[in-house]
Amino acid sequence: METSIAETSVVELIESKKHKELKERVANLNSIDLAEEFESLNREQQVVLFRSLPKDAAADVFAHLPAETKENLIEFLTDPELAHIVNDLFLDDAVDFIEEMPANVVKRVLKNASEDTRKQINQLLQYHEDSAGSIMTTEYVDLKEEMTVKEAFARIRRVGMDKETIYTCYVVDNKRVLDGVVTVRTLLLADASDRVGDVMETNVLYAATGDDRERVVELFRKYDLIAMPVVDTEKHLVGIITVDDVMEVMKEENTEDFYKMAAMMPSDDSYLASGVFELAKKRIFWLLVLMVSATFTGGIITRYERLLAVFPTLIAAIPMLMDTGGNAGAQSSTLIIRGMAVGELGISDWLPIFWKELRVSSLVGAILGVLNVGYKWILSGDPRLALTIGCSLFATIVLAKIIGCMLPLLARALRFDPALMAAPIVTTIVDAGGLVVYFRVAEALMRL
Amino acid sequence: METSIAETSVVELIESKKHKELKERVANLNSIDLAEEFESLNREQQVVLFRSLPKDAAADVFAHLPAETKENLIEFLTDPELAHIVNDLFLDDAVDFIEEMPANVVKRVLKNASEDTRKQINQLLQYHEDSAGSIMTTEYVDLKEEMTVKEAFARIRRVGMDKETIYTCYVVDNKRVLDGVVTVRTLLLADASDRVGDVMETNVLYAATGDDRERVVELFRKYDLIAMPVVDTEKHLVGIITVDDVMEVMKEENTEDFYKMAAMMPSDDSYLASGVFELAKKRIFWLLVLMVSATFTGGIITRYERLLAVFPTLIAAIPMLMDTGGNAGAQSSTLIIRGMAVGELGISDWLPIFWKELRVSSLVGAILGVLNVGYKWILSGDPRLALTIGCSLFATIVLAKIIGCMLPLLARALRFDPALMAAPIVTTIVDAGGLVVYFRVAEALMRL
C-alpha cells in the first residue's frame, strides 16, 4: 500500500479525490519539496493540496511558495486559516511575504495577524532593504546571566520550538542590552550548576540594524558563524540573523553584481517568470547610454576620414584593436570589482593595484603587440602598417588595464557601486581612447 | 594595566619582548583575528607570536593563515610542535593545508601526523577537488538507533568537543550505513528515555562523495541546512559537510564564474599576493584567442573595402554597431549563465528562452533602431544611411541576443562550462555577424 501511494503523483491523488492517501503522502514530504509540488497544479488543485497539509507544516510550506501562488491561495482561504498562517510564520518570512503582496492583500493579512505579530512585522518593515535589519528575525532564545545551565536548558526546551535557531542563545540584561552569547555546545559541555554568565562568550560579534547586509555576509564567511545578533544604537538586542538567510543574500548580491556588470538593472524575479516588457526595460537603459557613447567613438573615426582614405588598410585592424582593448579592460575591472565585493581589496590598495596592472599590462601588451607586428608584416608586407598596429595594440592594452582597474576604485571612492564600472563602460571608454592612439600612431609612422 | 596592554599593538609587544603581556593579549582574541595579526609581521616575529598562542588555539589559528605564512612557520617548528598542530587540525583544514604545501613540506607534515590522522588525510586527498568528498570532514557525532536520548547526550558530551558540528548527529547501524539524522534540537525537546531510533528523521538528504560540490551548495541553499552527511556507493557514512565550508565554496564558485566570464583563467590566489607573471599568464590565453578571432572580423571589413571607399560615412557607425551588439549579447548570456549556475534554468528550457529572447530583442532592437534612424537622418541628412544603420542595429541586436542565450545552453549540452560562453566570445562572434549584416544591408539600400 505504501508503495502504491508513493508511485501515484500528488496531482493524481488530488484529481481522483483520494484525500486520505493525499494526507498520508504529504505527511512524508518536507516543506521545501511540498512547496515545489504546487508549481504543477492549477489554482483549485493548489487550494486542495494546501488544505491537506498538516497544520504545523502549513506555514512553513507557505513561506516557500512563489508570490503568485501565495496570492492565489490567500484569495481562497478563510480569515481564521489566514490568521493561523500569518501567526505561525517565522517573522522574517512573514515580512518577505508582505513585501511581495499587493496593498489590498497586505491589508487583509495584517488585519488577521495577532496584535503582537502585527507590531513586530511593522517594525521589521521599517528597515532599508539592503540593511542587516531587513534580513533579521526577532525569534531567538534569550537568557539571563544569573541563570544556571540547567535553567537555561529548561528555558530552551520551553521556548525553543518556535525559534529559528536555538544553537546560539543570547544573554541580555534587564534592559535587553546584549551582554554575551552562549552556544548549546558550551552549555552541553558545562556543569548543570554553572552560571550562564560564567560560561558565556562576552567578546561578541554583532551587527547594527542599519549595517549593510553585504558586511554581514562578510562577517559570517570570515568567522564561520551560523547566527549573529543585531542591536540598535544603544546595544539593545533587537533580532538575529541566521546563516540560511545569509546564503540567500550571498546569492542575491552575486546575481545583482553579475547583472550590473553586464549592463542590466538588477531584478529579483526569475527569468522565466519575468515578462518581455519587464526584461526589455531592465536592459534598454544601459544599451541606450552606451550606444550614445559609442556614437562619439564613431565621431573619432570621422575626424580621421582623410587618413583612412589614404591608407584604407588601417580600417581592417579596428575590430581587433577595439575587441582586445575591451577584453583587456574587462579582465582588470572584473578582478578589482570582485576583489572589493569579497573584501580583499579596498580603495587604500590603489597604488599597488596601479603598479601591478601597469606591469601586467606592459607584459601582456608587449607579447601581443610583437606577435601582431610579425603576423601583419608577413601578411601585408608593409612593416610600417605592422608597426603601427603593434604599437597601438600595446598602448591600448596598457590604457585598457589602467582604466579597467582604476574606474571601479574611483566609483567606490565616490560612493557609487563599483559593479557599474564593468566591461560595458570600460569597453566604451577604451574604444575611444584606443582609436585616438591608433590614428595618432598611424599619422606619425605611416607618413614617415 | 589591562587598558595599556590593549593599546599596545601585537608587533610592539613582540619587539619589546613582553612575552607575558603578549600571552595575555592573544588569549583574548579569536582565532580569525589572530591569524590576521600575522600579516603585518616578519618571519621571526611570526614564529614568536605563534609560540605564544594558547596550546588549544594554535591549530585553529594555523588553519586560518595564508599558505606562505604556514610554510614559513613549519620551517621553524620542531617535529613535536608540528605533530601537535597536524593532529589538532580539523581534518578538512588539514587536507586544505597539505594541498597548499610543496612536496618536501608535505612529507615532513605527514611523517609527524599520527597514524590515524595520516590514514584519514590520505583518504580525503583522493577526492576530486570539485567533489563533495573534497569539502567534507570526517569529524562528526555518530549515534545508534538503540541509544536513549540520555545516552545520546552523554555521547555528545564525551566526543563533541573535537567535532566540527554537534548540532546534527548521524545515526548509523553496525556496518556504518546511514539510518537517519537527529538534531540536538529534537533531542532537547524529547524525553530522556526516548529511543534515538524513534525520534530521528529517516528521510535524510545526503550527498555521495563524487557529487559535484556545486550541487551540494544548491541543496544547502534550498533546504536551509547547516550540515549534510556524505556517503559512499554502499550508503556507508564517510563524512559530513558543514555550512561554513559551503559558504566558502559558494564564494569560490562565484569568483570562478566572474573570472571565466571576463576571459580569465580562474585562480584561487588573492590578487595582491599573485605575481605579475602569474597574473599575465591567466589573462593572455583568452586575449590571444579572441584577438585572432577578431582578426577575422577585420577580414570582413577588407572584403567590403570598395563599398567603404564609395561610402566612407559607413565607417563611423562601426564602433556603435559592434559595441551595442556586444553589450546586447552579453546581457543575454549573463542572464542564462547565472540562471543555470543557481539552478533556475536548464537545457530543457531552451525553447521558452529562445522565444522570450526573440521577443525581447525585437522590442529592444526596434526601439534603438528607430531612435538611430531619426538621429542619423537629422545629423547626416541622408535617409538611406540612416535606414541602413537602423536596420543593421535591429538585426545585430536580435542576432546578439539569440547567440548570447543559445551559446551557454549549447555549452552545457556539450558538457562544457557555460561560463566560458560569456561576453568576450559572444562579442567576437556578434561583431563578425553584425558587420556582415551591416555591409549587406548597406549594399542593398545605399545602391538603390
Interface of B with A in 251-310 (CB under 8 A): 251, 254-255, 257-259, 261-264, 270-272, 276-277, 279-280, 283-284, 286-288, 290-291, 294-295, 297-299, 301-302, 305, 308-309
Asked if the Cβ–Cβ distance from B262 to A330 is below 8 Å, we say yes
Q: Which positions in chain B touch A271 (Cβ < 8 Å)?
A: 335-336, 339, 344-345, 353, 356
In the three-class reduction of DSSP (H, G, I as helix; E, B as strand; rest coil), residue A142 is classed as strand
Q: How far apart are CA B235 and CA B216, in angstroms?
A: 17
**Chain A: closest CA distance from residue B343 (Å):** 11
Q: How far apart are CA B321 and CA B435, in angstroms?
A: 8
Asked if the Cβ–Cβ distance from A338 to B259 is below 8 Å, we say yes
Minimum CA–CA partner of A205 in chain B: B30
Domains and CATH numbers, chain B: 2-126 (1.25.60.10), 142-261 (3.10.580.10), 276-446 (1.10.357.20)
Q: Please tell me which of the candidates A188, A305, A364 has its beta carbon nearest to residue B283.
A: A364
Interface of B with A in 26-45 (CB under 8 A): 28, 30, 32
- Write out residues in chain B with pLDDT < 50, as ranges: 1-5
Read off the C-alpha cell for A188.
552541553
B320 and A297 in contact (C-beta within 8 Å)? yes
Question: Is any Cβ of chain A less than 8 angstroms from the Cβ of B150?
Answer: no
> What ipTM is given for this predicted complex?
0.80
User: Residue A448 — pLDDT band, cuts 50, 70, 90?
Assistant: low
Q: How far apart are CA B54 and CA B32, in angstroms?
A: 14
Determine the number of helices (DSSP H) and then strands (DSSP E) in chain B: 22, 6
Q: Which positions in chain B touch A264 (Cβ < 8 Å)?
A: 331, 334-335
| % of chain A residues with pLDDT over 90 | 35
Q: Please tell me which of the candidates B157, B248, B368 has its beta carbon nearest to residue A291.
A: B368
CA dist list (Å): A13 to A7, A16, A45, A394 = 10, 5, 10, 69
Nearest partner of A385 among A328, A443, A299, judged by Cα: A443
Place of cell 521577443: B359
Question: Is any Cβ of chain B less than 8 angstroms from the Cβ of A186?
Answer: no
A335 and A400 in contact (C-beta within 8 Å)? no
pLDDT of residue A205 exceeding 50: yes
Asked if the Cβ–Cβ distance from A243 to B243 is below 8 Å, we say yes
Name the burial class of residue A119, with classes exposed (0-12), middle (13-18) and buried (19+) by CB atoms within 10 angstroms of its CB: exposed
DSSP designation for B168: E
Minimum CA–CA partner of A288 in chain B: B368
CA atoms within 13 A on the CB side of B245: 25
**Chain B: closest CA distance from residue A116 (Å):** 25
Q: Please tell me which of the candidates A288, A315, A428 has its beta carbon nearest to residue B368.
A: A288
Q: Please tell me which of the candidates B189, B259, B270 has its beta carbon nearest to residue A160.
A: B189
A206-210, A256-260, A272-276: which range is least confident on average? A272-276
Q: pLDDT digits over A67-76, tens only?
A: 888 888 888 8
Minimum CA–CA partner of A159 in chain B: B189
Q: Which positions in chain B touch A270 (Cβ < 8 Å)?
A: 339, 344
What is residue A118's predicted lDDT score, i.e. its pLDDT?
Answer: 83
Chosen for mutation from B320, B340, B405 (greatest number of chain A CBs closer than 10 Å) is: B320
Q: Which positions in chain A touch B168 (Cβ < 8 Å)?
A: none
Question: Is any Cβ of chain A less than 8 angstroms from the Cβ of B224?
Answer: yes
Mean per-residue pLDDT of chain A = 88
SS3 track for A35-56? HHHHHHCCHHHHHHHHHCCCHH
**Chain B: closest CA distance from residue A256 (Å):** 10
User: What is the mean predicted confidence (pLDDT) over A14-43?
Assistant: 85
Q: Please tell me which of the candidates A28, A189, A319 has its beta carbon nearest to residue B298.
A: A319
Q: Which own/partner contact pairs does A387-391 have at CB distance under 8 Å and 24+ positions apart?
A: A387/A445, A388/A314, A388/A438, A388/A441, A388/A442, A388/A445, A388/A446, A389/A317, A389/A320, A389/A321, A389/A438, A391/A441, A391/A445
Q: Which positions in chain B touch A248 (Cβ < 8 Å)?
A: 221
Asked if the Cβ–Cβ distance from B264 to A160 is below 8 Å, we say no
Q: Which positions in chain B touch A291 (Cβ < 8 Å)?
A: 320, 323-324, 368, 372
How many residues belong to chain B?
A: 448
**Chain B: closest CA distance from residue A89 (Å):** 16
Q: How far apart are CA B11 and CA B2, in angstroms?
A: 17
User: What is the mean predicted confidence (pLDDT) over A272-280?
Assistant: 86
User: Residue A162 — pLDDT band, cuts 50, 70, 90?
Assistant: confident
Chosen for mutation from A206, A224, A259 (greatest number of chain B CBs closer than 10 Å) is: A224
Question: Is any Cβ of chain B less than 8 angstroms from the Cβ of A168?
Answer: no
**Chain A: closest CA distance from residue B332 (Å):** 9
Read off the C-alpha cell for B201.
528523521
Q: DSSP letters along B170-220, please?
A: EEE-TT-BEEEEEEHHHHHHS-TTSBHHHHSB-S---EETTSBHHHHHHHH
What is residue B448's predicted lDDT score, i.e. its pLDDT?
Answer: 60
Asked if the Cβ–Cβ distance from B276 to A251 is below 8 Å, we say no
Q: How far apart are CA B323 and CA A431, in angstroms?
A: 9
Question: Is any Cβ of chain A less than 8 angstroms from the Cβ of B344?
Answer: yes
B239 and B136 in contact (C-beta within 8 Å)? yes
Q: Please tell me which of the candidates B288, B319, B363 has its beta carbon nearest to residue A276.
A: B363
Minimum CA–CA partner of A157 in chain B: B189
B242 and B37 in contact (C-beta within 8 Å)? no
Asked if the Cβ–Cβ distance from A431 to B323 is below 8 Å, we say yes
A141 and A166 in contact (C-beta within 8 Å)? yes
Q: Which positions in chain B touch A315 (Cβ < 8 Å)?
A: 301-302, 305, 308, 315
How many residues belong to chain A?
A: 448
What are the residues whose beta carbons fall under 8 Å from the beta carbon of A125, sequence distance 6 or more?
A: A95, A98, A99
Q: pLDDT digits over A74-123, tens only?
A: 888 888 888 888 888 888 888 888 888 888 888 888 888 888 888 888 87
Note the pTM of the prediction, 2 decimals: 0.80
User: What is the mean predicted confidence (pLDDT) over A254-266?
Assistant: 87
DSSP designation for A234: T
Asked if the Cβ–Cβ distance from A262 to B294 is below 8 Å, we say no
Question: Is any Cβ of chain A less than 8 angstroms from the Cβ of B346?
Answer: no
A316 and B301 in contact (C-beta within 8 Å)? yes
Place of cell 488543485: A45
Question: Is any Cβ of chain A less than 8 angstroms from the Cβ of B320?
Answer: yes
Chain centre to alpha carbon of residue B426:
23
Q: How far apart are CA B33 and CA B448, in angstroms?
A: 74
In the three-class reduction of DSSP (H, G, I as helix; E, B as strand; rest coil), residue B324 is classed as helix
